[in-house]
Amino acid sequence: MADAPRRKPTLDEVAERAGVSRSAASRVLNNAPHVRRDKREAVQRAIRELDYVPDTTARALATSRRNAAALVISGETPSIFADPFFARVIVGASAALEEAGLHLMLCLAASDRSRRRLEELLRARGVDGVLLMAVRENDPVLHIAGGTELPVVFGGRPVGYEPPWYVDVDNVGGARRATEHLIGRGRSRVVMICGPLDSQVSRARHRGYREAMILAGLEPLPPEYGTFARPTGAAAMTGLLERHPDLDGVFAANDNMAADALRALREAGRTVPGDVAVVGFDDLDIAKITEPPLTTVHQPIEALGREMARLLVRLVAGEEPSSLILPTELVTRAST
């Protein structure tokens, strides 16, 4: 009886043996420049040890350029287009890609069908790289991103996963400063309206709130949760008022929910900032037109998109850039 043919080792196995990412192993195979010497040597050693023979068709595809990048947003379509945050990310990313001669392809990955189409696009190498936004815990898009040899840059970091390349903002530090600002205004019963638990952004901002409260010798109170969308801020604020009628400060994890919290406080007969001081996060345009105008944490949203794109351009060129965390700053207005 003839022996069964030996299974060919895969690029994933080469990367695992070498202790590098799949994309790093792919760049070594394709003789891309700017790969660190120790990584290149580790991949070459793994290739010899596993007797790996690259797929010549795949390598031919790998050397072709499409001059395009996919911006993939994993989230519900209506909420994405209603949120000005994503529009500003797209503006920043598009400008940086245009400078580098790359077209922007917007891909929404909220449904099974759209995720299958995305997987087909990446398998066919229809773009040179991927920008990935709004990824939640256990998001199916994570599997798709992990299965491509194309470079992928994350906007933010998903729960339970540290991407090789990402651009994030200092969510913990920004939330800590927001809460410290409320405490500095003499507020001692500060509550939080948090975003969804499967979002790393929500967890980081809640961590910043807790740190500030504990360092000030105050008790962090259990938050109410919203979805980052506007209607959920009012419901969360109403719930907090019912549980903590003596609250005197509110930190909302984004401006959309903070704006609705202001409305709920007004309907409950509470004055802002007389009875309750309120701080949001993002510094969207809505923060300037609420009543009263909203104190908030400014994050550089267009810069987030721009730096994601610049990082991707460097990866496409074969470089080994580092991930970035962008700073935040408090913008004080009349709500505190």
Residues contacting 152, CB < 8 A, separation 6+: 23, 129, 130, 131, 132, 145, 163, 164, 165
Query: What pairs with residue 278 in β-bridges?
Result: 250
pLDDT of residue 77: 59
Q: Where are the alpha helices (DSSP H) in 185-319?
A: 200-215, 230-243, 255-267, 286-289, 301-316
Please write down the long-range contacts of 152-155, taking CB distance under 8 Å and 24 or more positions apart: 152/23, 153/129, 153/308, 153/309, 153/311, 153/312, 153/315, 154/308, 155/89, 155/131, 155/304, 155/305, 155/308
Q: How far apart are CA 100 and CA 322, in angstroms?
A: 19
Over 3-70, what HEC string results? CCCCCCCCHHHHHHHHCCCHHHHHHHHCCCCCCCHHHHHHHHHHHHHHCCCCCHHHHHHHCCCCCEEE
pLDDT of residue 5: 52
Q: How far apart are CA 159 and CA 20, in angstroms?
A: 21
Q: How far apart are CA 239 and CA 54, in angstroms?
A: 59
Q: How far apart are CA 115 and CA 132, in angstroms?
A: 13
pLDDT of residue 29: 75
Q: Of 125, 117, 114, give the one whose Cα is nearest residue 150.
A: 125
Q: Of 153, 151, 176, 193, give the one whose Cα is nearest residue 278.
A: 193
103, 40 Cβ separation under 8 angstroms: no
130, 148 Cβ separation under 8 angstroms: yes
What's at 273, amino acid-wise? P
pLDDT of residue 278: 98
- According to CATH, the topology of domain 68-168+301-326 is Rossmann fold (3.40.50)
Q: How far apart are CA 299 and CA 291, in angstroms?
A: 21
Structure tokens at 100: 């580098």
pLDDT tens for the chain, residues 1 to 336: 445 455 678 888 888 999 988 777 877 876 665 568 888 899 989 988 988 877 654 554 455 678 899 999 986 655 666 778 989 999 999 999 999 889 999 998 888 898 999 999 998 889 999 999 988 888 899 888 888 889 999 999 988 888 999 999 999 999 999 999 999 999 999 999 999 999 999 999 999 999 999 999 999 999 999 998 888 999 999 999 999 999 999 999 999 999 999 999 999 999 999 999 999 999 999 999 999 999 999 999 999 999 999 999 999 888 889 999 999 999 999 999
pLDDT of residue 111: 85
pLDDT of residue 26: 76
- How many other CB atoms are there within 10 angstroms of residue 193's CB atom? 29
pLDDT of residue 2: 45
Task: HSE, CB side, 13 Å, CA atoms: give it for residue 200.
Answer: 20
Q: Does domain 171-298 correspond to CATH entry 3.40.50.2300?
A: yes
Q: How far apart are CA 320 and CA 102, in angstroms?
A: 19
Q: How far apart are CA 248 and CA 234, in angstroms?
A: 16
Alpha-carbon 212 to chain mean position: 23
134, 80 Cβ separation under 8 angstroms: yes
Residues of CATH 3.40.50.2300 domain(s) within the chain?
68-168+301-326, 171-298
